[in-house]
Chain A
Amino acid sequence: MTNTPDFPERTPPPAELRADERPDGTAAGGARPVTPEPATPRDAPVWDEGTYPRILEPRGAGRLPLGDGTWHQLARAYVRVQVISQGAFLLLVLAVAAGLQVFLGLQWPWIPAGALAVITLVGLIITPRQARSFGYQLRRDDLVFRRGILWQRVVAVPYGRMQLVDITHGPLDRGFGIAQLKLVTAAASTGVTIPGLTQAAAEQLRDTLIAVAETRRTGL
């Protein structure tokens, strides 16, 4: 591996992003004595290519704050893939229902088809916002993952706990050059799945994670 890992084993550079990354200068500053070493953006050109620039947060003041450090985000292509696949599914459902009515004269398929269509449509509408809420941060000893706007979830996974890293990409994903990276620990509830990384970023991230996990290997 020739590239330099994003998280520094060495002295971390100053966090220039810290001031504007902090959403609201609330009491969070006092309640967070931890200063995680922020990542160095200049070391990781691949990870931030074609991604969103800023994490979308809920509006409420009681939200889980972003904190320090650089958040890496999903590639914009992820939304395109999602819109295409969900849109295709929507059209398929409507086509089947319409076909059943035209050729067999059945009315009732519109009920399940309508329900499916509404669910898919809602998904289609929130997908672009949701995609911008995903973020991951490589700190010195652990990976922090966040997702969700209405239901927020933040997870910290120590590198040494990783059992394996999984990369999957379907045909449509390959067409747009994105991949899904899944981090597996011994606990099923960890559930860290980063869905829309560019393929280069996913592979680099995988290699980096494996390399770091190897140096910090722990038991189960």
Chain B
Amino acid sequence: MTDAIPESAGAAGRITTRSPMSDGEWHRLHPLTPLLRGGLFLLVMIGILIANLRERLFELFFPVFTDLPPGVMPPDPVDFLFSNNLFLIAAGAVVVVLVILLGAFRLSWRFHTLRIGDDVEVRSGVLFRTHRRAPLDRVQGVNLTRPMVARLLGLAKLEVVGAGLDANVRLEYLSAKDADALRGDILRLASGRRLAEAGPGAAVGGSFVRATAEAVGSGIQGLVEGEDFSDAEPESIVRIPLGRLVASRILSGSMVWLLVLVAAIVVAASISTVWLLFTVVPTFLAYGAYYVRSIARGLRYSIAPTADGVRLTFGLFTTISEVVPPGRVHAVEVRQPLLWRPFGWWSISVNRLSGRSSTDSSTDQLAAVLPVGTRDDVERVLRILAPGLPPDGWADVVRDGLLGPVADDPYVTTPGRARILRPLSWRRNGVLLTADALFLRRGWIWRSLSIFPLARLQSIGLHQGPLARAMRTARLAAHVISGTVQTSVAVLDRDAALTVMEETARATVAAAAEDRTHRWAG
């Protein structure tokens, strides 16, 4: 729905990309953007008005309930305006403010333009101009977020994830169709493929009102039909039944803590004061909210391989759909909380550059790649998360890494003499280096496996404290970008750890030299 800016339209001789949005010219965002961005402000104003008029409305509709004598109005700024005949002036002032605000948002919308050529560029600001340009070969992922309100209007936010703090390019808002096409184009351009010629321009100008009506219409229709993104051709490779999702959240580690907490409070209440029981209520409310949120987020979950990386979608109300290109996953961890073991469920989280500050809560959301899944699901997800690794080895990875140790275990594990430092997990606690990845296996009660693709490993370290020295052991630490994945395994035999470190250092250099994923189409 965005129209090319007239003055730059002359140079539109060669069009290399498919969608009209990414033809290398400057485009504007969706015309409804000012409404959504200014919408919050309007809501606040309406709220203030209603709060001020509350008494009055009450008086008007339910005169019985007010304790004022009939006919007497409560003291109110509105009365003041009425009694002094300032009503028209006040109304005029409100209208002027609204018009100015709308004009300002409209102006900022006019100045907010984007261009997708060899880079992603965004210009914004009226007085303080900013111009942000992100090189396409450093793209770490592209997010499409559709908050509830924007979804009603048929809009979506597009976020091009860069490497670095606050390095993302945000495009708010685009029509869902444009955003989808744009994401496809950005990824295709980033992959290094040339795009086919665009057909004759089908860009219709359309009036503002018609555009609005169309957008709202299609948005509502999409909501009714459960519209999804158009590039959703590939089928999700994992289905999470609702029962499993709910059960997995209830059986997660936080449930244990909740039970412990409740038990403690009950015991405390029974031996001292009864009113302590009431403190359970807020605890339950907080946990309930947490569970509802995490379950709602896991609904509509889908993960699928596409030509341009892994496409992840989740969220019931606010739908987030993200494409992670190949080679953007720096570390993977497969974990199994204790209570999931009888069911054979696992979860997968990754370390990746999200382009946000580490305090941003949405970072964690995008890290959890598989909320819960069976062993087969894990194998399928791992296969598409690390496509550089040999495809036939994953069954072994799952067998040895997740369920192991089994017969002829390939992992270098804790030596028997240091068993006392890992009394339960010493057979499992270990490390394995393959040609493409480093695997760290830990835990007998809480089993986990961390996988580090060597092409992404930044450096490798060995640590040794006095106790470890006495035991002749060492701790191996893989250094990757920060995230939730555990990156080290302790109590390895010193000589074995030294060997692994040396070989990893060599293999890392080789893997990094061969890595071509910044332009993954080759």
Contacts and interface: CB of A to CB of B under 8 A. Distances in A.
Contact of B461 (A150, A155, A216): A155
A158 interface: yes
Interface stretch (A43-51, A56-64, A74-82): A56-64
Interface in A100-121: none
Contacts of B498: 28, 31-32, 64-65, 67
Contacts of A58: 469
Interface in B445-467: 455-456, 458-466
Contact of B512 (A26, A60, A190, A218): A218
A190 B465 contact: no
A30 B460 CA distance: 21
A20 B463 CA distance: 24
A219 interface: yes
B502 interface: yes
A62 B464 CA distance: 9
B118 interface: no
Given A154-B501, A187-B482, A161 B495 contact: no
A158 B508 contact: yes
Contacts of A33: 499, 502
A122 interface: no
Contacts of A216: 509, 513
A157 interface: yes
Contacts of A31: 495-496, 498-499
A219 B495 CA distance: 31
Interface stretch (B181-189, B263-271, B470-478): B470-478
Nearest to A155: B461
A125 interface: no
B517 interface: yes
A160 B464 contact: no
Interface residues on A, range: 35 or more
B505 A158 contact: yes
Interface string B492-522: 0011101101111110110011010110000
B505 A142 contact: yes
Contacts of A27: 495
Contacts of A126: none
Interface in A153-207: 153-158, 160-161, 185-190, 192
A132 to B, nearest CB: 17
B262 interface: no
B512 A189 contact: no
A61 B470 CA distance: 8
B190 to A, nearest CB: 13
Contacts of B501: 154, 156
Nearest to A183: B459
Contacts of B456: 220
A61 B472 contact: yes
A34 interface: yes
B481 A186 contact: yes
Contacts of A160: 509, 512-513
A155 B460 contact: yes
B469 A187 contact: no
Nearest to B509: A141
Contact of A152 (B163, B463, B479): B463
A141 B506 contact: yes
Nearest to B501: A156
B2 interface: no
A32 B505 CA distance: 13
Given A156-B461, A158-B508, A185-B459, A62 B482 contact: no
A30 B499 CA distance: 10
Contacts of A155: 459-462, 479
A214 to B, nearest CB: 14
Nearest to B358: A188
B181 to A, nearest CB: 27
A219 B325 CA distance: 14
A155 B505 CA distance: 10
B464 A152 contact: yes
Most chain B beta-carbon contacts within 10 A, residue among A27, A154, A158: A158
Contact of B469 (A63, A156, A158, A189): A63
Contact of B509 (A158, A187, A190): A158
A154 B461 contact: yes
Contacts of B502: 32-34, 36, 156
B373 interface: no
A59 to B, nearest CB: 9
B384 interface: no
B479 A189 contact: yes
B465 A151 contact: yes
A121 to B, nearest CB: 21
A127 B470 CA distance: 24
B458 A219 contact: no
Contacts of B353: 220
A65 B505 CA distance: 17
A152 B472 CA distance: 13
B487 interface: yes
Nearest to B464: A152
Nearest to A189: B479
Interface string B98-122: 0000000000000000000000000
Nearest to A65: B498
Contacts of B503: 34
Contact of A161 (B458, B470, B504): B458
B461 to A, nearest CB: 4
B452 to A, nearest CB: 11
Given A154-B501, A185-B458, A186-B458, A220 B163 contact: yes
Nearest to A140: B509
Contacts of A157: 458-459
A52 B466 CA distance: 24
A185 B466 contact: no
Nearest to A34: B502
A153 B513 contact: no
A189 B506 CA distance: 19
A219 B460 contact: no
Contacts of B506: 34, 141
Contacts of B509: 141-142, 158, 160, 216
B480 interface: yes
Given A158-B512, A186-B163, A219-B515, 5 more contacts: A62-B494, A152-B464, A153-B464, A189-B480, A216-B513
| Those 7 A-B pairs whose CB atoms lie nearest each other, nearest first | A62-B472, A31-B495, A187-B458, A218-B512, A187-B479, A34-B502, A156-B505
7 contacts: A31-B496, A31-B498, A60-B466, A67-B498, A158-B509, A160-B513, A161-B458
